[in-house]
Amino acid sequence: MSSTALRTLKRPVLAALCAVTALGLTACGPSGSGSGEAKKAEPFAGLSGGQIANKAIKATKTADSLTLDANLKTTEGPMKAFMALDTKGQCAGTITMGPTGTMEVIKAGKEAYIRFDEAFLREQNEGGSPEETEAALKMLKGRWLKTDANDPEAKEGLEMCDLGAMLGEFETGASSAERGEETTVNGKKALTLTEKDGDTTYKIYVATEGEPYLLKIDQKGGEDPGTLSFTDYNKPVPAKKPAAKDILDLDKLGAE
């Protein structure tokens, strides 16, 4: 059960990470110099769209923590993720693959915990006998699977929990992003940047008050279209250990 559970975790986590990487790098694409001069009354006065994109990426990479809200259409179907993560490797949140089937993830220190809902468990046991499915539900439904977060297989599957590594995929450089209208994203004032790459359009929303953090990246067209939103910058990650009665220790099961 240990290998199956962690492989199941790895797939959607890495899919989300790849989507973040793709959108982030496009915001720093290899062409153009951006839009014309900005008025002094406008946010980021005198900066082109490309310069603002680079400024936002640099600011975002200094964050100690944030919450990622992803809604993507991957090659394997729709995927949603809501994950709080920090540079210490802690994370807590949920990942949903397809129209149903959700798993919860918590990583705190050297321990990681995963919990699957019934729809997810039934999907993973599809093709098995009714007896096998019911046995899996009886053992796992409502319970957190505990494992060593430093185990090679678990560590690979939990890569998304490392905010430093995720933000390291964002690079600055020449960008053809163009300045757009001012708007509001999750209650924060923002400036819209637009960049096109063939039949793919990206809208990048940058905070205009406080640090110029990335607030949202919206992709239309191309591979893995969808939206990534970034909130709760520098807030503690709620990675609390589940109650002992709700934990099933995978390492102990593997040793039996």
pLDDT tens digits, 52-106 = 999 999 999 999 999 999 998 887 788 899 999 999 999 999 988 877 789 899 9
Q: Looking at residue 223, what is its pLDDT?
A: 80
What b/e string do you get for 91-102 counting C-beta neighbours within 10 Å, with b at 16 or more?
bbbebbbeeebb
Mean pLDDT of 157-163: 83
Q: Are 220 and 201 in contact (CB under 8 A)?
A: yes
Residue type, 148: D
Q: Are 27 and 175 in contact (CB under 8 A)?
A: yes
Q: Looking at residue 211, what is its pLDDT?
A: 97
- Token pair for 65: 């923590």
Q: Which residue has the tokens 């990246």?
A: 217
Distances (CA, A) of 79 to 91, 97, 99, 189, 214: 18, 5, 8, 27, 21
pLDDT tens readout for residues 108-133: 989 999 999 998 888 877 888 888 88
pTM for this prediction: 0.81
